[in-house]
Amino acid sequence: MACSSKDHYLPERFMKTIYLLCLGVLLFTLPGCKYFKSTHPQAGLPEEGTTNMTDKSILNYTASIDRTLRDYKKEYSLIYLSGDLSVYAEKYSAHNDGMLYKTYTSNGTISNSVKSYYFKNDSLILVKERIKLMNEEGSVFKDVRTYMRNNVIFKIDSRTASSAEALRTLPYLPVQAADNKYPEESYASDVKGIDDAINGTDKFEMVFDNISTYPDALYIMLKSKQQPNYKSSILVKTKDAYIDSLLNFPSLFKDDKLNFKWRIEDNASIYVPVADTITSAKGLNK
């Protein structure tokens, strides 16, 4: 049975789960930025077509982005780990301007979320999040949409249910603002963190730690240069001369930034051999 979407309070047993899920978001969050400031050459000009957007026009615009994602340039990150948490990011852009950023956060069988940031004319207009919280007593699914004009939130709505199927049948209900004012959100740091995750910069600058061999698997193990508790493992399905070098002389590469390509497959980062022609994300620059 679906939970009432009027109930914006989750049972106490899920509070620890929510806390763990928030930790996953922190992997992408960088302190110090409060407002989104674009570096686009036209960023200082009036953002025609966004200032007067309504919640309905925002939803129509973002739906058109979703329908045409195949036409956008796609970039993606490695899958990063910190303890039991894993995070992964995607960026869809046209003419090198970010149109949609997405993050995937998972805490094993406890929780997962997908968060999407939609832009128009370099202005963030919608943040959409789907959250799934799980324990032995059941699951809670929650959708939240945050609407923005000129970097200011003007509406939030949400819905909650006990299954994904039930969630889709429910309407979104408005979330009331405290004292008629929504809190300020530091989405700029979220977007900066996503770009860093994709480009392998800042705290996502990964260096070689070791190469682990198992009877049925081989992994390149990386760690963050700045925060060693951030790690990434890349499954090697096909060995080549580059992998042979890592296996035979691992000490020569220790703490170095590697240059290789990967693809994402079945929720795993997969090494792309040098001679392979499969298109992959941009590798880490050495």
- Regarding whether 170 and 97 lie in a shared domain, the answer is yes
Kindly state whether residue 223 falls inside one of the protein's structural domains.
yes
- Regarding whether 187 and 119 lie in a shared domain, the answer is yes
Distance CA 89, CA 282 (A): 13
Kindly state whether residue 137 falls inside one of the protein's structural domains.
yes
Residues 114-128: tens digit of each pLDDT: 999 999 988 999 999
Kindly state whether residue 87 falls inside one of the protein's structural domains.
yes
Confidence band for 250, pLDDT divided at 50, 70 and 90: very high
- Regarding whether 192 and 239 lie in a shared domain, the answer is no
- Regarding whether 263 and 125 lie in a shared domain, the answer is no
- Regarding whether 39 and 161 lie in a shared domain, the answer is yes
Backbone angles phi, psi at 145, to 5 degrees: -125, 130
Catalogue the long-range contacts made by 94-97 (C-beta closer than 8 Å, 24 or more residues apart): 97/40, 97/122
| pLDDT for the residue numbered 16 | 46
Mark which of 197, 231, 257 sits at the end of a domain. Answer: 197
- Regarding whether 233 and 192 lie in a shared domain, the answer is no
Distance CA 168, CA 235 (A): 36
Residue 266 CB neighbour total at 10 angstroms = 6
Kindly state whether residue 4 falls inside one of the protein's structural domains.
no
User: Is residue 276 scored above 70 in pLDDT?
Assistant: no
Residues 59-77: tens digit of each pLDDT: 999 999 999 999 999 999 9
Alpha helices by DSSP H, listed for the chain, are 15-26, 55-67, 164-169, 187-199, 241-248, 250-253
Kindly state whether residue 6 falls inside one of the protein's structural domains.
no
Cα 220 to Cα 36, 83, 147, 217, 271: the distances in Å are 35, 18, 41, 10, 8
- Regarding whether 40 and 117 lie in a shared domain, the answer is yes
Kindly state whether residue 285 falls inside one of the protein's structural domains.
no
- Regarding whether 190 and 209 lie in a shared domain, the answer is no
User: Is residue 258 scored above 70 in pLDDT?
Assistant: yes
Confidence band for 256, pLDDT divided at 50, 70 and 90: very high
Collapsed DSSP state (helix, strand, coil) of residue 257:
coil
Which domain range does residue 170 map to?
Answer: 12-197
- Regarding whether 193 and 146 lie in a shared domain, the answer is yes
- Regarding whether 101 and 170 lie in a shared domain, the answer is yes
Structure tokens at 195: 């770009």
Mark which of 179, 197, 215 sits at the end of a domain. Answer: 197
Mark which of 197, 220, 246 sits at the end of a domain. Answer: 197
| pLDDT for the residue numbered 29 | 56
DSSP 204: G
Confidence band for 145, pLDDT divided at 50, 70 and 90: very high
- Regarding whether 134 and 238 lie in a shared domain, the answer is no
Kindly state whether residue 282 falls inside one of the protein's structural domains.
no
Kindly state whether residue 249 falls inside one of the protein's structural domains.
yes
Domain count, the chain: 2
- Regarding whether 134 and 68 lie in a shared domain, the answer is yes
